[in-house]
Amino acid sequence: MEVTLNVKRFDPESKEQGSHFQEYNLEVEDHSTVLDALVKVREEVDGTLALRCSCRASICGSCSMRVNGHAKLVCKTKLRDVIQHDHKVLVEPMNNMPVVKDLVADMKPFWDKVRAIQPWLQPDGAAPEREYIAPNATMLHLTGVMSCIMCGACVSDCTALEVDKNFLGPAALAKAYRFLGDPRDDAGNNRLKMYGESGGIWDCTRCMECVQVCPKGVAPMERIMSLRDQAIQAGFNNNNGARHTESFSELVKHSGRLDELRLPIKTFGMFNFPALIGLLPVGLRALRRGKMPPIIHKSIPGAEKVRRIFEKVEGKK
């Protein structure tokens, strides 16, 4: 099979500023992976190409990079699945991290954030004489999230991180879920308070990039949603994120559909005048264009049946 790898190159020691793209034409086997092709380039064509890999079996997590714009473990990505009509495959280093050289990203911001969520058990009371016991059944729900191999793919493609480097990000928050859910940990409330602060669980946009790109099915976003629910349940609900979720639910329960006019008011709080005044220009612009939601909100026909479903299911998971 013929393939053209279009590789983003960057050499910090080069006199030329910035990065550039370089094409490599190769003949590869039909079953070759993107990593096979990159290694072939490095060994047979251009020894200056820098990339990182180790196990070549999607266990170590070191070969994450972007293929055609999306983060992947290149050792488990077959060329035939990503090759374009013109035989080209675009290969770039991970996003949202500084680049060391070519396809090698600097994982320091990744590890800093994992450390920030305090990824160690924090039990209360005196230590037991022997080991801490965790019955199998209490750990089962954590097996999915414990499959994380720290490859950084989710962080690379996180849309919230793209605009805010302070966001803890999907990998660290999935790890946060893992420690919060461990029966040997007693720091639950401290953790929930910390994870709910600025840059935490409420800053996720729910875009599902992390769910899509995770090579291990960890589904970080779903863990973040669970952390949000746990935070609300524990009473950490005095913030716009929690109020938004609660208000959305109340409004749909009431009329079967969303009342878009009341949602921001309930989210910010009726007496949060600075925030509400901040909405005014947007509201006035919409009003001028005849784009406002109806002032008198209409329920759907049979809204009481929707309410009945809420009453039956609320509180049950």
Partner 1 sequence: MKYAFFPGCVSRGGCPELYPSVVNVCERIGIELEVMEGAACTGAGVLQEKNQRLGDSLNARTFAMAEAMGLPIMTICSTCQGTMSQAHKRLADDPAYMAEINEILAEEGLEYKGEVVVKHLLWILVEDVGLETLKKHVTNPLVGLKMAPFYGCYIIRPTGALGFEEHPEREDSLERVIEALGAEVVEFAGKTRCCGFPILTINERNSVAMVANHTLDAKGLGADAMVTPCPLCHLNLDGFQPKAAAQSRTTIDLPILHLPQVVGLAMGMDPKAMGLNKHIISTKKLLSRVAVSA
Nearest approach, Cβ of residue 107 and partner 1 (Å): 23
Q: Is residue 241 at the binding interface for partner 1, with CB under 8 A as the rule?
A: yes
d(CA 20, CA 114): 31
Among 82, 105, 192, 263, binds partner 1 (CB under 8 A): 263
The neighbouring-strand residues paired with 72 are: 65
Q: Is residue 19 at the binding interface for partner 1, with CB under 8 A as the rule?
A: no
Nearest approach, Cβ of residue 95 and partner 1 (Å): 10
Among 177, 179, 236, 268, binds partner 1 (CB under 8 A): 268
**104-to-159, 254, 283 alpha-carbon distances in Å:** 21, 52, 47
The answer to whether the Cα torsion of 33, 67, 112, 172 is positive or negative is: negative
Among 51, 145, 160, 174, binds partner 1 (CB under 8 A): 160
Phi and psi at residue 64, to the nearest 5° = -70, 130
Q: Going residue by residue from 95 to 124, which x/- string records binding to partner 1, judged by CB under 8 A? A: ------------------------------
DSSP, res 94: P
Cβ 68 vs Cβ 90: under 8 Å: yes
Residues 175-214 that bind partner 1 (CB under 8 A): 202-209, 211-212
Q: Is residue 163 at the binding interface for partner 1, with CB under 8 A as the rule?
A: yes
Q: Is residue 232 at the binding interface for partner 1, with CB under 8 A as the rule?
A: yes
Stretch near partner 1 under the rule CB under 8 A, chosen from 8-16, 52-60, 172-180, 260-268: 260-268
Nearer to partner 1, 52 or 257 (CB): 257
Cβ 173 vs Cβ 222: under 8 Å: no
Cβ 158 vs Cβ 96: under 8 Å: yes
d(CA 115, CA 80): 38
Nearest approach, Cβ of residue 18 and partner 1 (Å): 17
The residues, any chain, with a CB within 8 Å of residue 113's CB and separated by 6 or more, are 155, 168, 169, 171, 172
Q: Going residue by residue from 298 to 317, which x/- string records binding to partner 1, judged by CB under 8 A? A: --xxxx-xx-xxx-xxx-xx
Stretch near partner 1 under the rule CB under 8 A, chosen from 17-25, 110-118, 169-177, 257-265: 257-265
Burial classification of residue 305, based on how many CB atoms lie within 10 Å of its CB (0-12 exposed, 13-18 middle, 19 or more buried) = exposed
Provide the strand spans (E) within the chain: 2-9, 20-27, 64-67, 70-73, 88-92, 99-101, 104-105
Among 277, 281, 295, 296, binds partner 1 (CB under 8 A): 281
The residues, any chain, with a CB within 8 Å of residue 195's CB and separated by 6 or more, are 117, 168, 173, 176, 180, 201, 227, 231
Among 11, 159, 237, 276, binds partner 1 (CB under 8 A): 159
Q: Is residue 235 at the binding interface for partner 1, with CB under 8 A as the rule?
A: no
Stretch near partner 1 under the rule CB under 8 A, chosen from 6-14, 26-34, 112-120, 291-299: 291-299
Chain positions contacting partner 1, by CB under 8 A: 69, 159-160, 162-164, 167, 202-209, 211-212, 225, 228-229, 232, 239-241, 244-246, 248-249, 252, 256-258, 260-261, 263-264, 267-268, 278, 281-282, 285-286, 289-294, 300-303, 305-306, 308-310, 312-314, 316-317
